[in-house]
Amino acid sequence: MNNKRQAKDKIIQYIFFILAFVSIAILCMILFFLVREGVPVFELVTVRDFLFGDYWYPTSDPPDFGIFPLIAASLLVTVCSAAIAIPLGVMTAIYLAEIATARVKEIAKPMVELLASLPSVVIGFFGMVIVAPFLQDVFDIPTGLNLFNASLMLAFMSVPTICTISEDAIASVPIELKEASLALGATHWESIVRVILPASLSGLSTAVILGMSRAIGETMVVLMVAGGAAMVPASIFDPVRPMPASIAAEMAEAPFRGDHYYALFATGMVLFVFTLIFNFIADYLSNKHRQVGASTL
């Protein structure tokens, strides 16, 4: 009897192990495929020329495979969108966690989360049809499909991520810390800024990094509203072409296992490395500044 129960336990253990292993296996397979299809391009260009070359003309004769403008575009779009999304997301989170009444929170929080459920193509369409002409008219710029528009749309997409995770982080700060701060005569505002925010710093940083990694990997929005000029922008109103947009736009027509195809996969590798770095940073920050409970008697 006992034996049978133990065996059952073992089987269940194995099943769960296999299930957990599946996602790792899939990741490894995708990674293997990405590298296998991407590496051959380095027979044509050196790693240095690929990463820092200024010209992306994959189909000309002879072709140029320099993705520096694409990398610059990806980074700039991410940084600009973070500059918009971080204040918006974190402040909304503070409001929801600390200031809002239960009733307001009940309505506002699902609303913010609803923003996350908007398909990216809808946000892209909004940016293309509504925001771009608006920017053209208001700022009198040649085109509304540019770095600024893309950053704005990406900020809309990363606000829910940043807000939800930040809100959880702020809400999970032990109540004793806040009580102690208030008991020492600090105002509510002082408690938020001096006690609660520092205590939830790890959660906030994780939120920001995850929001940014969402922005750097986002494809549809940048494909539709970033403009797509493969050059390093001189102003915030210049069109840019981030890496995902380039891959999405060109992959469908690139000859199978041609040089262009390999170059696009190599671009995918670079993109993967970027998101990997973001995730490592998020992981590191969430471990480093972890608030491990409050010291109470």
Partner 1 sequence: MKFNFLKAIIVLVSVFCLATGAWAENLEIKGSTTVLPIAQKAAEAFMKVYPDVNVSVSGGGSGNGIKAIIDGTTDIADASRFIKDKEVKLAVEKGVYPVPFGVAYDCIVPVVHPSNPVANLTKDQLKAIYQGKIKNWKELGGPDKKVVVISRDTSSGTYEVWEKIIMKKERVYPGALLQASNGAVAQSVAKNSYAIGYVGISYLNKDLKALTVNNVEASAENAMSGSYPVSRILYMFTKGWPTGTTLKFINFVMHPAKGQKIVAEAGYVPLY
**Interacting residue ranges for partner 1, rule: CB under 8 A:** 55-61, 69, 128-129, 132-133, 136, 142-145, 223-224, 227-231, 238-239, 241, 245, 248-258, 260
Q: How many Å apart are CA 163 and CA 112, to the nearest integer? A: 8
Least separation in angstroms between CB 239 and partner 1: 5
Least separation in angstroms between CB 12 and partner 1: 18
Least separation in angstroms between CB 49 and partner 1: 16
Query: CA of 91: how far to CAs of 7, 150, 276, 292, in Å?
Result: 52, 22, 27, 24
β strands within the chain, DSSP E: 56-57, 64-65
Least separation in angstroms between CB 210 and partner 1: 27
Residue placing its CB nearer to partner 1 in the complex, 219 or 286: 219
- In the block, tokens 């920017």 appear at 135
Least separation in angstroms between CB 108 and partner 1: 33
Residue placing its CB nearer to partner 1 in the complex, 70 or 207: 70
- The 8-class DSSP code of residue 193 comes to I
Residue placing its CB nearer to partner 1 in the complex, 210 or 225: 225
10 Å CB burial of residue 28 (0-12, 13-18, 19+) is: exposed
Q: How many Å apart are CA 220 and CA 248, to the nearest integer? A: 8
Residue placing its CB nearer to partner 1 in the complex, 154 or 222: 222
The answer to whether 179 and 204 are in contact (CB under 8 A) is no
Residue placing its CB nearer to partner 1 in the complex, 186 or 232: 232
Task: Report the SS3 class of residue 229.
Answer: coil
